[in-house]
Amino acid sequence: MAVKLYIQRHGLPCFADSVKRYVGRTDLPLSPEGMAQAEQGAARLMDRGIGMAYTSPLSRCREFAEIIADKLGLPAAIELPGLLEINMGNWEYRPVGEIKDTRPEDYKARGLDLAGFVPEGGESFRECQIRAVKTIGDIAAAGQDAVVITHAGFIRSLLCYAENHDLNDLFYYDVPYGGIFMLDYGDELFKSIRVSRL
């Protein structure tokens, strides 16, 4: 059975400041601009036969998914822990500049091995990718076209798998706030798959 999954990044969160930080599982709320991005995203998803919505449990995704589900006339989005962003461990919400200055060897090691590097207490992008593939596979196996609200790191790792792209080059994929990628499955999950951007 063919299944279309619309993988969408949440909208712009509310940040406390303009400092560039490692943001994984810090639970930031959706900003007013992020809410507007949800409205725009819903308009792009209208009349596509979507029957279900799934979301990461974090507020920026849940609030975004609530708007999407309401506009599309769907049941409340189902929260799945498997859709969480990559776990940044003890790097979580710390400024990038601080890590670069205080942990230069770790900062360099991550740059050389994005796929495999694990911050203390966190996970690697390879681990995130394994989780992403399983979670999206489970959603697709339900056999219903769906919208899935999740995070940039999760989406990039998933797209690398779907298109057989080097995970160390995951920033090849531009995943803007509110961006939507369609995964079009054939009869076998991840055996016959087409990725396109709305």
Q: Give the tens place of pLDDT for each residue, 142-151.
A: 999 999 999 9
pLDDT exceeds 90 at position 64: yes
How far apart are the C-alpha atoms of 178 and 26, rounded to whole Å? 18
Cβ–Cβ under 8 Å, residues 8 and 43: no
CATH of the domain at 97: 3.40.50.1240
Number of domains in the chain: 1
pLDDT exceeds 70 at position 41: yes
Type and span of the H or E element at 129 = helix 125-141
pLDDT category of residue 135 using cuts at 50, 70 and 90 = very high
- Per-residue tokens: 43: 């308009």
- CA 8 vs CA 20, 41, 101, 114, 120: distances in Å: 22, 8, 34, 23, 29
Q: What is the mean pLDDT of residues 75-79?
A: 98
Residue 86 has a pLDDT of 98
> What is the predicted pLDDT for the residue at 78?
98
Whether 193 has a pLDDT exceeding 70, the answer reads no
Q: Residue 138 is part of which domain span?
A: 3-197
Instruction: Note the pTM of the prediction, 2 decimals.
Output: 0.94
